[in-house]
Amino acid sequence: MKFLNRQNEMARLDRLMSRSAGGLAVLSGRRRMGKTRLLLEWNGRHGGVYTVADLSSADIQRQYFAEAVAQRLPGFADVEYRDWRSLLVRLARDAAAEAWRGPLILDELPYLVASSPELPSVLQRWIDHEAKEAKLVIAVAGSSQRMMQGLVLGSNAPLFGRATEVLTVGPLDADYLEAAFGTTDTGELVQAYASWGGVPRYWELATELRGTPQSRVEHLVLDPLGPLHREPDRLLMEETPSALEVRPVLDAIGAGAHRVAETAARVGRPATSMSRPLGRLVDMGIARREIPFGVSEKKCRRSLYKIDDPFFRMWFRVVAAHRAQLASSTKATRMKLLHKYWDRLVADAWEDICRSKVPALPSRSPLGKLGSWGPASRWWKGNLPEWDVVAEAIEGKALLLGEVKWGTRPMGRQALEHLAGSVASKPAPSLGSRYAGHSSVRVLFVPEVRETKERYVKDVLVVTYADL
């Protein structure tokens, strides 16, 4: 699959390369997000050295590192380095002599540290002195959020405050699905997002296959021989340290336990002990804490925890609860099982897309023409009617009140009038005195429409996928 997006990240890395004084870039993010691809693309632009660590011993790690450097600095691997300090000091000296400024890329830094615990302190001194004098551009990367926090990002980390650029490589935006999958069909694009989220590696595997979105999921995920059949377990196990301890929590959330007390009951733990595993899932980008719009995050007692990643959401809903059944089932049976949950999974993904797009609507969008909007979220309270999308205008006193509806076919006039009528008559959310006096625009989000070109139906603005 061709290299997509990452323009902002690449621009920041290129800007670092242009600094005459050199500098340090730190990249983090979950596995499969494309950190390595980004670094390789950047490395190829500037003739740098890319090295990636594994779980070998310290001596072998240094040997591999030296061999990678020798491709740019001949003779560098002819010496056996007994410690990292001597290796790095010579690297800076040879680089200065050759007027080579990098980039020098250390991918999967946590693996290096696992075999050489002293390395962060060694890197700290080297970056402060020899590398700075040689004006080297250095980039370190790692998939373990916890390890990267402890090594680089935390206030007590050895490399804290030394990074010129700190980049978190997250999922690709849904906008790039069209380029990746080669289709403009709205239904297929939303279903692809429901299947794979914004993870480039999953897109790559899916685009190598032909067929419907469901058939691709069956082949790659539901089939016990599929490469992604046990993907979440592998990702949790590959974290440093392993995150398998949070697997039961994910099972509970995936099965529909979204409140802390309910999740705790499902896994047999006190509710007071849940902050740590839930926090780790949020830090990893797998789960999210959801609070109603307009409620303070610190004071909220109505928060819910949901699986944020669409692929994980699909896997824990369809695969985790049916592993035994899938192990001996036929393709037809697997497809039937997927069909049972498919519409709900796609509808949830469509809601995610709509909420995520609100703060960055193009000016050509009917909703964008009404102004700029802040982050959107759901609103709920007791037995009152819920709202799928609520956002506040950046300027002026206005609220966006939206409902999201999914359908596999373009919606006709009769269906739109029915849905718009429900949105128009729905009670406004009870948001308190802060939002008193705000005007509101009511919005109906649907994938596609037909038989009408009107933007307002019963005073409700209709927004489609193409408008986002």
- Where is average pLDDT lowest: 36-40, 110-114, 151-155? 151-155
Where in the sequence of the chain do the CATH 3.40.1350 domains occur?
A: 361-467
> In this structure, which topology does domain 361-467 adopt according to CATH?
Trna Endonuclease; Chain: A, domain 1 (3.40.1350)
Cross-strand bridge partners of residue 461: 443, 456
Instruction: Supply the pLDDT for residue 81.
Output: 93
Question: What burial class does residue 2 get, using C-beta atoms within 10 Å of its C-beta: 0-12 exposed, 13-18 middle, 19+ buried?
Answer: exposed
Instruction: Supply the pLDDT for residue 1.
Output: 56
Q: What's the average model confidence in pLDDT over 359-376?
A: 90
Per residue in 349-359, pLDDT (tens digit) is: 999 999 999 99
Whether 40 has a pLDDT exceeding 60, the answer reads yes
Q: What's the average model confidence in pLDDT over 384-400?
A: 94
Whether 28 has a pLDDT exceeding 80, the answer reads yes
Whether 158 has a pLDDT exceeding 90, the answer reads no
With a CB cutoff of 8 Å and minimum separation 6, the contacts of 352 are 193, 310
Helix (H, G, I), strand (E, B) or coil at 457: strand
Please state, for a pLDDT cut of 70, what percent of the chain lies above it. 98
Instruction: Supply the pLDDT for residue 3.
Output: 63
Q: What's the average model confidence in pLDDT over 91-111?
A: 93
Per residue in 256-307, pLDDT (tens digit) is: 999 999 999 999 999 999 999 999 899 888 999 999 998 887 777 788 999 9
User: Looking at this protein, which amino acid is placed at residue 98?
Assistant: E
Instruction: Supply the pLDDT for residue 2.
Output: 58
Whether 445 has a pLDDT exceeding 60, the answer reads yes
Whether 156 has a pLDDT exceeding 90, the answer reads no
Residue 103 preceded by cis peptide, ω within 30: yes
Interatomic CA distance for residues 30 and 239, integer angstroms: 9
User: In which residue are the tokens 């049916």 written?
Assistant: 322
Instruction: Supply the pLDDT for residue 161.
Output: 80
Per residue in 171-186, pLDDT (tens digit) is: 999 999 999 999 999 9
User: In which residue are the tokens 């309270």 written?
Assistant: 381
> In this structure, which topology does domain 175-349 adopt according to CATH?
Arc Repressor Mutant, subunit A (1.10.10)
60 CB neighbour count, 10 Å cutoff: 12
Instruction: Supply the pLDDT for residue 454.
Output: 79
Q: What is the CATH number of domain 7-168?
A: 3.40.50.300
Where in the sequence of the chain do the CATH 1.10.10 domains occur?
A: 175-349
Whether 341 has a pLDDT exceeding 90, the answer reads yes
Whether 74 has a pLDDT exceeding 60, the answer reads yes
Q: What's the average model confidence in pLDDT over 241-252?
A: 88
Where in the sequence of the chain do the CATH 3.40.50.300 domains occur?
A: 7-168
Interatomic CA distance for residues 69 and 61, integer angstroms: 12
pTM: 0.90
The larger pLDDT score, comparing residue 390 to residue 162, is at: 390
CA dihedral sign of residues 80, 85, 89, 92: positive
Instruction: Supply the pLDDT for residue 4.
Output: 58
pLDDT-derived band at 392 (thresholds 50, 70, 90) equals: very high
3-state helix, strand, coil in the chain (%, to 5): 50, 15, 35
